[in-house]
């Protein structure tokens, strides 16, 4: 451990929690209500971190039976139905990744500051963490609407670390996507990329400082980064 508390900033969807089942169910529901076909989930999953509208648009872009993409008015209508369904079923099937709860508890007890830094709306982030009993583990939770900034803008990481009571000079980002890697690079902090999240590119190709395939590896990877920073 360093003299000052180390702050670990976690992305949410695809990093802390496997939210894909509930998000894809919400997508299926909003499309079905409007009379559209269920999309191929394998083609949607990699862009889950880009938000609901991106998922809806990808569903149409990959549907070879759709000759004309819906206009923005229709996309907005589908989006509202998506959010309504997702809000009501936010943690039906979503679960923390294996080993996450145990590892986060160990880190918390060891004196690390833990924070969530996500581009998910805070109005959805807070109830999801509460439903999964994760809220007590975090010193700060920052999502869209928490600050004027979103990842990869480094200011959102600065704000997150400050809210947690930490120092950006002793912070690490953990995430699953290019947005997370870029945010960390822009903030000039180390980043650990996870292999099990939602990314259109292999996490290795994004060149994070460390790569994590299982939460059992996180403590060792954090120690390695701390030693390199010393």
Nearest Cα to 117, choosing from 226, 9, 3, 7? 9
The model's pLDDT over 110-159, given as tens digits with 9 standing for 90+, comes to 999 999 999 999 999 999 999 999 999 999 999 998 999 999 999 999 99
Q: How many CB atoms lie within 10 A of CB 165?
A: 12
The model's pLDDT over 29-52, given as tens digits with 9 standing for 90+, comes to 999 999 998 999 999 999 998 999
Nearest Cα to 24, choosing from 12, 15, 13? 13
Length, in residues, of the chain: 230
Q: Is the dihedral of CA 216, 42, 93, 182 positive or negative?
A: positive
Is residue 91 left, alpha or beta, with left meaning phi > 0 and alpha meaning psi from -120 to 50?
Answer: alpha
Confidence (pLDDT) at 141? 98
pLDDT bin (cut points 50, 70, 90) of residue 1 is very low
Q: Is 11 a catalytic residue?
A: yes
Instruction: Quote the tokens at residue 180.
Output: 């997370």
pLDDT bin (cut points 50, 70, 90) of residue 224 is very high
Which of 11, 18, 22, 28 is catalytic? The answer is 11
Cβ proximity of 220 and 192 under 8 Å: no
In this prediction the pTM is: 0.94
Q: Which residues pair with 45 in a beta bridge?
A: none
Question: Strands 95-96 and 17-18: what pairing?
Answer: antiparallel
């Amino acid at each position: 451990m360093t003299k000052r508390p180390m702050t670990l900033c976690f992305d949410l969807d695809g990093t802390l929690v496997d939210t894909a089942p509930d998000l894809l169910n919400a997508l299926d529901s909003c499309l079905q209500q409007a009379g559209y076909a269920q999309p191929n989930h394998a083609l949607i999953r990699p862009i889950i971190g880009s938000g609901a509208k991106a998922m809806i648009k990808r569903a149409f872009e990959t549907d070879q039976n759709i000759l004309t993409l819906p206009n923005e008015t229709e996309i907005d209508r589908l989006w509202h139905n998506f959010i309504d369904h997702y809000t009501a079923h936010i943690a039906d099937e979503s679960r923390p990744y294996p080993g996450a709860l145990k590892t986060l508890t160990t880190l918390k007890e060891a004196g690390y500051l833990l924070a969530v830094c996500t581009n998910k709306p805070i109005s959805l982030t807070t109830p999801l963490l509460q439903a999964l009993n994760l809220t007590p583990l975090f010193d700060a939770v920052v999502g869209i609407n928490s600050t004027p900034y979103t990842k990869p803008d480094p200011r959102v990481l600065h704000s997150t670390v400050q809210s947690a009571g930490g120092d950006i000079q002793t912070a690490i980002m953990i995430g699953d996507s290019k947005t997370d890697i870029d945010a960390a690079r822009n903030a000039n902090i180390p980043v650990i990329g996870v292999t099990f999240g939602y990314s259109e590119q292999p996490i290795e190709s994004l060149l994070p400082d460390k790569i994590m395939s299982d939460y059992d590896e996180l403590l060792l990877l954090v120690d390695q980064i701390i030693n390199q920073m010393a």
